[in-house]
Structure 1
Amino acid sequence: MSLCPSSNLLPPMKSLFTLLTTLYSVSVVSAQNATGLAPLKFRSLPLGKIMPAGWLKDQLTVQTNGLAGHQHEFYRYVSQTNWLGGNVTYSDLQEAAPYWFNGLVPNAVLANSDALKKQTSYFLDYVLSHQGTDGWLGPEVNTTLPRILWARYPFLYGAIQMVEVDPSLTDRVVTAAYKFVKLANTMIKNKQGLDDWTNSRWHDFLIPMQWLYDNHPNGNEALLLETMNLLKAAGYPWDKIFSDQYFPKGPVDHISNPLGYGLMWHGVNVAMALKSSAAAYRVSHSQTDLDNASAAWDRLFQYHGRPSGIFAADEYLAGLDAVRGTELCLVVEAMFSGSYLYQVIGNPKYADRVERITYNALFATITGNMWSRQYLQQQNQIASKNMSPNPFPNDGAYSNVFGLDPNYPCCTVNFPQGFPKFISNAFVTTPDGASLVQVYLGPFNTNANLQNGNNVQVTVDTQYPFSDTFKTTLTASKAFTYYVRIPSWVTKGTISVNSGTTQPLSPSNGLQAVKVASGTTQIVLNLPADIKTEQRPNGSIAVQRGPLHYAFDIPRNQTILAQNAQQPLAVDLQFGATASWQYAIDPSTLRFDAGKPPATLPSPIYDSGKPTPSISVTACLISWPIAGDTFVSSPPTSPACTGSKSTIKLIPYGATKLRISEFPVFKST
């Protein structure tokens, strides 16, 4: 083995010093000047420059062919027929249409769907052509419906993405956005449009305004900065809400609200607000804001986190119990917040968790064909049905049914943003535009125009997270430094460049640096991981390997509870267990089996029996009570076996729809 690194690998200390010196120099100058916006650690690529490949492309096709790509044809909240006929309501405008638009724009582009592109173009044109003379955005212009600011924010996210894809839209979208910002500035000063939803989600207006400032300031810098400060001052003080003094350390069902903000423990608001201090930092230049963002992230997952990567909130923060729920809207908003946090702060913990959420929690709460979704998922979920009694204090008994819109319709129109935005944030550039960084791991094709006219094309060939190996091919017109994120769970990872010597990885701040020459470069990565167990309440454990959380997939039957009259594929499904699930496991017997991966993964990959990797473990049946006939109680502590030992198989959590994923433990020897 050579003791010297390959010439293609930057020495780790030099690469760290070079990257951090660049970022530090920029931040010091900005802090001294304290004008304008603080710089980003990394910059996103325009929508469409990162495209899914392999199983990611197939999964996006499944989403496009499912509910996400067809709800505008029949779903009452976003049906084009309703819009054309003027059959809109306050609820539609405050949630459904902007959420739907925000998610469908990247879905349409990444799936290269002409039909969906037509829908998003129609909606954008409709809203812009109906903008009020005073600047108000929305189909309810010239109506008596109340004006609430926050629903405009996801619309602006969608419009910005459309400009990235089609620069010819720039003047129209930017002009309309500034008319709205000027109106919003006046409204905020007059305390108008500031309901609880607006006040809790102020950061989701700061980010579009920051995009305007960074890309199209047009002499409006003072207006943008003033509006950002006004909006934050009028909004919830998330830094205080997330502080150790006030943040709840368990379920909030029976504790008093110490600050009086009615929606401060609402799960989706919390997921959105994870990016609030980072958005505020860009205006304030204050390190305190960055420290608050980091502490809030850690505190939330410490007290409410799930082995699937997400946190629990069945409407409001719900602690650690495996039977409590997590809302689908919350999942996709936490993914977006984590991507933004990584681009502002650069700490790899955000990217690690977003990847875990995506590859576990996101798909666990949607059927394999992506036509039905839950409102709430559970770590231990033994049935999907109308529950009596109901384990969710603030949500309905129908919340864990897979259907068109169980409990509330918000998740139906909002969930499609999750997967496409994960893809579109998978690569970033360094602030100087000289280097490309792969943030999320998976199969991608990327085309980036770097500094000094350096056109770079990247193809990542992998079945990750269902495999540990990657083959990346880069073609560059000029030499540059390429970075790839190495997750914290990787053990004994290796890299080789252009068929050179295989070497141990040497990441700095989670990034492996590789010197890429002009022409074609090939990188082979191997990112193995150990099986790890996570301690959970009542002495139970969860099982992890790499980015994947593993669960026992409970065999199930299926009953159709309801079917949409206009679209028969949109059904509400009841699932019931058809086999025993009351297992305790011996963690000392956990064994990973990579299986024999096929050349092409099955479609859809996130369904029972589809993923190749599995983990076997010795188990025994125990006495484990349930509540009524619907949900399981907390895992019993130190249970006794009621039957003989057997070996059970655990599969990736996201492929299960009924599951046990937090197990009681026993010793088999």
Structure 2
Amino acid sequence: MNTLRLLTCLTLIGIIQSPIWAQKKGLKPLAYEEVPLGQIRPTGWLKQQVDVMVKNSTGHLDENHKKIKSDNGWLGGKGDDWEETPYWLDGALPAAYLSGDSMLIKKVLKYVNWTLEHQRPSGFFGPYSKYEKETGKMAENGEQAADWWPRMIMLKILQQYYQVSQDPRVIPFMTKYFQFQLKNLKTTPLVKYTEWAQSRGGDNLMVVYWLYRQTKAPFLLELGDLIYSQTTNWTDLLGGRDWAIQAAYQQNDQKWMERHAVNVGMGIKLPAIYAQSKNDPYYLKSLKTGFRDLMTLHGLPHGMFSGDEDLHGNDPVQGTELCATTETMFSLEQIISITGDTEYMDALERMTFNALPAQITDDFNAKQYFGMANQVEVKRGVYSFSLPFWRGMNNVYGPYSGYTCCTANMHQAWPKFMSHLWYKNAEGGFAALVYGPNQLNATLASGNKVEIEERTNYPFEDRIEFVIKPEKKQRFPLEFRIPSWCEEAIISLNGQELLREKGGNIAKIHREWQAGDQLSLYFPMKVRTQNWGKNSRSIEYGPLIFALKIQESFQKLEHPQEGEYWEILPKSDWNYAVLKKMVDKPADNATLIKKAFPKEFLWNQEHAPIEIVVEGKKLPDWKSIAGVPYQPVTTRNGDYLGPTEEKTEKITLIPFGFTRLRIVAFPVVK
């Protein structure tokens, strides 16, 4: 084992400890500490992405969404007093500070300030409970309070707000509320009001442990144990294996909250969060086992698992709820901080650049409640989902189509990804564990400031340039994840090759840096294929998964209850298989076409900066049934043996995130 790998392993098991984080008792050191919100600024295409969000629904949901707009309970009114307002704020607040948009900052602070200013003497906070509305008295105990769940989201918002503002009100506010929880949870447990709080208690625990790292108050560790004991036992479910297997075939109403994909996306971080307080490898081992089972039995080519709403196996025509993607991304960002495990970094990258953008319109005003991997039409219907919903609106793109939880919750995905482009490492430097154009302005452990500019169009190109600008010469470490799909990365310093590192590892460079140093990462990308459900094949290049480019016809319609929505129908053929020679030698049988990177970046077909052209053949018997392109039956050796057109055609593929209609899991023919 080389020195770099040994250091990485020691870091993961907690042998190397930074004096900043070392604790005499309490929580174990983090593998990587989060960089506070506000110290990372998106640039390039990521800045354009957050600007689109702020200009459109993220910046104006409180004006357009009646549930949030009308007499809002999070401002003391009688309207929304549950999850949708905090869901929106959980994305709008970081988006506001990442973009620097003063109007959105002003908006979100209105809700933050009302919350901080209206905490009850008991410690309870948020919208007024039923007891409070009926009696005019303030809640003094859990029985007089209200659902714990939406307050968990607001705690996440306040944590981010404190990072960016250092507002002295936040720490006492949280301390008082957590004292209220410790006093009342035994008689009014998480499940008292809804099962959602029971399923999602890990989000509550996460903020409890964050506050402990700020204050070291011992009661928070006691509270942590109590919250964990009342939360769905995701640790045993993930480690026990039967859960993931049964979920692949069980779609009834028994224990469905344990199969609900959004609960799963939130729940996977629970073992890692609780592992901070326990010197027992069981928690992280269970997470590793369960996450691999989840992605094996339910994983889809775009990087997410199925969930429509239940986990629903690995068939490419099963749907995934948008909220499940956003919450899984956030869970992985927390798991990365705690474990430092590159497997979770790779998973975060894959779902972010592929699954996420395909389920939201390029203007960030409409979304799909459920999106399919192989999707050849978008229209009203029940499709193959475990939750068809009686209006048949779960597959269309609309601001309010399907359940509106995703209308509010989709906003957190990109801002939180952007705010986790850097982490602090255990030796006083920084680690780039996922990539995208940005600028870091932070303070080193020594107290000196440093600016690091990350110049790249990644994931659409294979090079990333870092310009390092410490305020004076200083020795500190920088770490860089090498994606597992990369066979060997080449790292250069000031134009000279410095080192090479294999994929799946973290490269660490510990040296004296001076202003203007330029570090270059080169991740050679090759076209490759991967096997998926129903013996299908995906075509991949770097972190991007490619899908058939289908001509799309949009039609805007109106639903009496759910408002405007868009149906999308194909204007070109989609029933293609790829050739066996492509699977055997993908790099030799694919033509890569790189276009000029768009000045105005949008997730739509016209702006896709890369195409892959391969040969394919039509399968005349492969037709959709009620809009669903069920996968053709293939033999165990991967070949489709049904009727195939003799003519070989060149077919064009674009990255999955730029599609609304596509085939991404292809049959194979000779």
Q: TM-score, normalised by structure 1?
A: 0.90
Give a deviation string over 1:279-305, Cα, whole Å, max 9, x none. Answer: 111122321111112112111101111
Q: For residue 140 of structure 2, what is the aligned residue in structure 1?
A: none
Q: 2:185 aligns with which of 184, 188, 200?
A: 188
Match in the other structure for 1:100: 88
User: Sequence identity, in percent?
Assistant: 28
Shift of 1:596: 4.2
1:582 to 566, 575, 583: 575
CA apart distance, 1:25: 2.6
**Structure 1: how far apart are the matches of 2:75 and 2:208?**
32
Report what 2:632 is aligned to: 635
C-alpha displacement of 1:592 = 4.8
SS in 2 for 1:285: coil
The 5 Å alignment of 1:270-669 reads 270-387=264-381, 389-396=382-389, 397-432=392-427, 434-476=428-470, 477=472, 478-501=474-497, 504-505=500-501, 509-513=505-509, 515-562=511-558, 571-589=564-582, 590=586, 591-598=589-596, 600-626=597-623, 628-637=625-634, 638=640, 639-642=642-645, 644-667=647-670
C-alpha distance in structure 1 between counterparts of 2:561 and 2:23, whole Å? 61
Give distance in 1, aligned partners of 2:393 and 2:409: 19
| Deviation by residue 1:291-324 (Cα, 9 ceiling, x = unmatched) | 1121121111011111111110101110001111
Determine helix, strand or coil for the equivalent of 1:630: coil
CA 324–366 in structure 1, closer or farther in 2 if over 3 Å, else same: same
Displacement of 1:632: 1.5
Q: Measured at CA, do residues 516 and 385 of structure 1 come closer, stay the same or move farther in structure 2, by a change above 3 Å?
A: farther
Decide whether the 8 Å contact of 1:59 with 1:603 is kept in 2.
no
Q: CA deviation at 1:109?
A: 0.5
When the two structures are aligned, how many residues end up with a matched partner? Answer: 641
Q: Give a deviation string over 1:574-601, Cα, whole Å, max 9, x none.
A: 1111111111111524455553442x52
| 2:335 counterpart SS class | helix
Distance 1:201 1:565, change over 3 A: closer
Structure 1 window deviating more from structure 2 (632-641 vs 80-89): it is 80-89
Q: Secondary structure at the match of 1:181?
A: helix
1:42 aligns with 2:32: yes
**Preserved contact between residue 249 and residue 319 of structure 1 (Cα < 8 Å):** no
Residue type of the alignment partner of 2:478: Y
Q: After TM superposition, give the deviation of residue 553 of structure 1 in Å.
A: 2.2
Shift of 1:254: 3.9
Q: SS in structure 1 opposite 2:83?
A: helix
- Report the counterpart of residue 232 of structure 2 in structure 1: 236
Distance verdict in 2 for CA 1:507–1:596, change over 3 Å = closer
- Asked if the contact 1:635/1:662 (under 8 Å) is kept, the reply is no
Q: Which residue of 2 aligns with 1:8?
A: none
Change (3 A) 1:571 1:57: farther
Tell me if structure 2 keeps the 8 A contact 1:62–1:604.
Answer: no
In structure 2, the partner of 1:3 is none
CA contact (8 A) 1:506 1:512 kept: no
Aligned partner of 1:185: which letter? L
Q: Which moved more, 1:203-212 or 1:449-458?
A: 449-458
Alpha-carbon distance change, 563 to 370 in structure 1, aligned in 2, over 3 angstroms? farther
* Structure 2 alignment gaps of length 5 or more: 135-143, 635-639
Give distance in 2, aligned partners of 1:352 and 1:166: 31
Deviates more, 1:583-592 or 1:443-452: 583-592
RMSD: 2.7
Q: Write the distance in 2 (CA, Å) between the matches of 1:554 and 1:87.
A: 47
Match of 1:124 in 2: 112
Moved more, 175-184 or 644-653: 175-184
In the alignment, which residue of structure 2 is the partner of 1:222? 218
Per the alignment, do residues 362 and 88 of structure 1 end up closer, same or farther by CA in structure 2, a change over 3 Å counting?
Answer: farther
Deviates more, 1:190-199 or 1:316-325: 190-199
Q: Which has the higher contact order (CA 8 A, sep 6+)?
A: 1
Contact 2:548 2:654 in 1 (8 A): yes
Scaled by the length of structure 2, what TM-score is found? 0.90
1:609 aligned counterpart, secondary structure: helix
Partners of 1:241 and 1:271 in 2: CA distance: 13
Find the aligned partners of 2:523 and 2:107 in 1 and give their Cα distance: 41
Sort the Cα spacing of 1:107 and 1:438 in 2 relative to 1 into closer, same or farther, 3 A.
Answer: same
Deviation (angstroms), 1:245: 4.3
